[in-house]
A and B are shown apart, each in its own frame.
Chain A
């Protein structure tokens, strides 16, 4: 039976809806060879860690779907069974700074992925240069990152939803629109990222440590637990 509710009954729920404009993108986990490559092209590690994420003015929380197979063991009924989780590419849009570091970060990350033939020699600009790939997951020279995260939170930062991407790299940089016009517009660049999978929820939260895994508990919650009652926190781990 439908329940008869008053305005006050739902005010609490609908008064606390999430707002889409509070989020943060964080880049990290690049291999040392990739960091060196980017630094040699004017993109310092500090820019990658601190500024690149802030320039992401538009992001989509990642989507996923379940591939299914059908069965008709019961005549007239089609049953569906999930068998594989499919991840859709991540799309991020960035403001471009006046030193083009954001653009360089994306372009040179992709350049590095296909830059297995030495990029530091004059051969690279030669007409007869040929490409070789870099290994994706090599601990020293890999081009994939396991430490790119998107945090979704609210103004009071009481709760955080964390998305951690594993095996992420830029697969496409859209063409950047430049045109004569008013002086109040900003150059923007949009890139698509492919990744192996993502983990929704804090990877180092209390849930993770207790083995509950991938719940929607935040790092901040966990930190708060530790600070407020360390004894209880330790007991919760043991139990």
Chain B
């Protein structure tokens, strides 16, 4: 049975806002994709849904002193000039006409054909340009050519210097992917009794133990070849026995860092059993899976 630890011992009640952190055995996502032709690979979170009852330990703490979430999506500048766009669309037809089977049967011959077609497509593209554009293209090519001799000339600068124009970069922000969220929570720990001091000691020990990698994995024969992943954590903000009605929800997290300051009082001072009077425990979590829009369908409050 999973053990349960709580700090403070006496305050967290049925209507108290608090933080619940469950320690869960890490299940790797695996490398098999979904059934049929789908590409929905299993994630650590989805794997762990089946093990949701396999909780190694549960820790109840107050709401951290710093409470913030940061949702980030990766967007980045993208620029491509009109000439390049035109060239790309000309080459698209060449690529479309190439058959995968032909490449498999006669790679060199097919590659040569593609190169010939591409050359022809580019010639047709160049012949369609007006004189002004062709002149600028020539200037840019001269710049590139001179760079062979180490001149370090920017073709764009050369065109600008020559004609006072630059190639339209068609600058746009484009989606580049998702990012994993990071969280940093700090808890002030000031034990009020020996019982609470014991709780604090066990809580710190539990976090340290379960965030550490496991060296003794595998059978006796393979022991020492691999090390096992640490356990992961499910952090939830709750009111009594229910999810918090407002605060954010978190997916399962790895505890990537933990800092404990045992001199929170400003100097070293302890109780008779050696428990420091004030400690500050900072936990740095990183979610194991990114957040998707569909995740918000089944959560209350502000969502993830």
Contact = CB atoms under 8 A, between A and B. Distances in A.
Tell whether A pairs with B.
Answer: yes
B270 interface: yes
A142 B270 CA distance: 14
Counting chain B CB atoms within 10 Å of each CB, the highest count among A116, A131, A133, A135 belongs to A135
B192 A132 contact: no
A138 B195 CA distance: 8
Contacts of A79: none
B271 A116 contact: yes
Main secondary structure of the interface of B (DSSP, over half): loop
25 contacts: A116-B270, A116-B271, A116-B272, A117-B272, A131-B269, A132-B269, A132-B270, A132-B271, A132-B272, A133-B269, A133-B270, A134-B271, A134-B272, A135-B191, A135-B192, A135-B193, A135-B197, A135-B272, A136-B193, A137-B192, A137-B193, A138-B192, A138-B193, A138-B195, A142-B193
A42 interface: no
Contacts of B270: 116, 132-133
Contacts of B192: 135-138, 142
A133 B271 contact: yes
A139 interface: yes
B147 to A, nearest CB: 56
Where chain A touches its partner, the secondary structure class is loop
Interface string A42-76: 00000000000000000000000000000000000
Contacts of A135: 191-194, 196-197, 271-272
Contacts of A134: 271-272
Contact of B194 (A117, A131, A132, A138): A138
Interface string B256-271: 0000000000000111
Contacts of A132: 269-272
Interface string A155-188: 0000000000000000000000000000000000
Nearest to B277: A133
A136 B275 CA distance: 13
